[in-house]
Amino acid sequence: MANVTGLVDGPLGVAQRSPPLSPGNGAVASFLGVVRDHAKGRGVTRLHYECYRPMAEKVLARIADDARRFDPALVVTAWHGLGTMVPGEVSLVLHASSAHRGPAFDAVRWLLEEIKRELPVWKRQTFDDGSDEWVHGS
């Protein structure tokens, strides 16, 4: 199975959350990033994500390919949502499927750290007092 990656407008729904199921791969480890209603001790009412889209598409696909270092037969799904989202909505979906649980867990954790380090996506958070700010680094 091929990796599936992309950036799409809006929060991620059931379609993007569905994991890659393959009879050869017995373990699927996953991560969902959910918009949180608090940050730095303050209430958050919404987030807005923007990206450098052509570069982000390439970087996300490359990170997914690189995760094969954990298992050559690894299959990755990686979706990032863009635009405005409210707490409880899903901004990131990662799945890594492997024949064994060890590489699946290691890969999904690595994918998340790489995405947080390399994917050209930025979020602006709006606090419950109406103020907002760009988050740089995470």
Partner 1 sequence: MVGVSVLYFAATRDLAGVAEERLDLPAELDHVELRARLAAAHPRLAALLPTCRFAVDEEIVPPGAMRLRDGSCLALIPPVSGG
Nearer to its own copies, 34 or 57 (CB): 34
For residue 123, state whether it binds partner 1 (rule: CB under 8 A): yes
Record the tokens describing residue 38, joined without a space. 């608090």
The one segment of 9-17, 68-76, 102-110, 117-125 that binds partner 1 by CB under 8 A: 117-125
Entry field: residues in the chain: 138
Cα dihedral 95→2→102→108 (10° resolution)? -30
By CB under 8 A, the count of residues binding partner 1 is 27
CA distance 111 to 66: 9
Residue 137 buriedness (CB in 10 A; 0-12 / 13-18 / 19+): exposed
For residue 105, state whether it binds partner 1 (rule: CB under 8 A): no
Which residues contact its own copies (rule: CB under 8 A)?
A: 14, 17, 19, 21-38, 87-88, 90, 97, 99, 101, 104-105, 108-109, 112
Binding site for partner 1 (CB under 8 A): 33, 49-52, 54-55, 58, 80, 91-92, 112, 115-124, 134-138
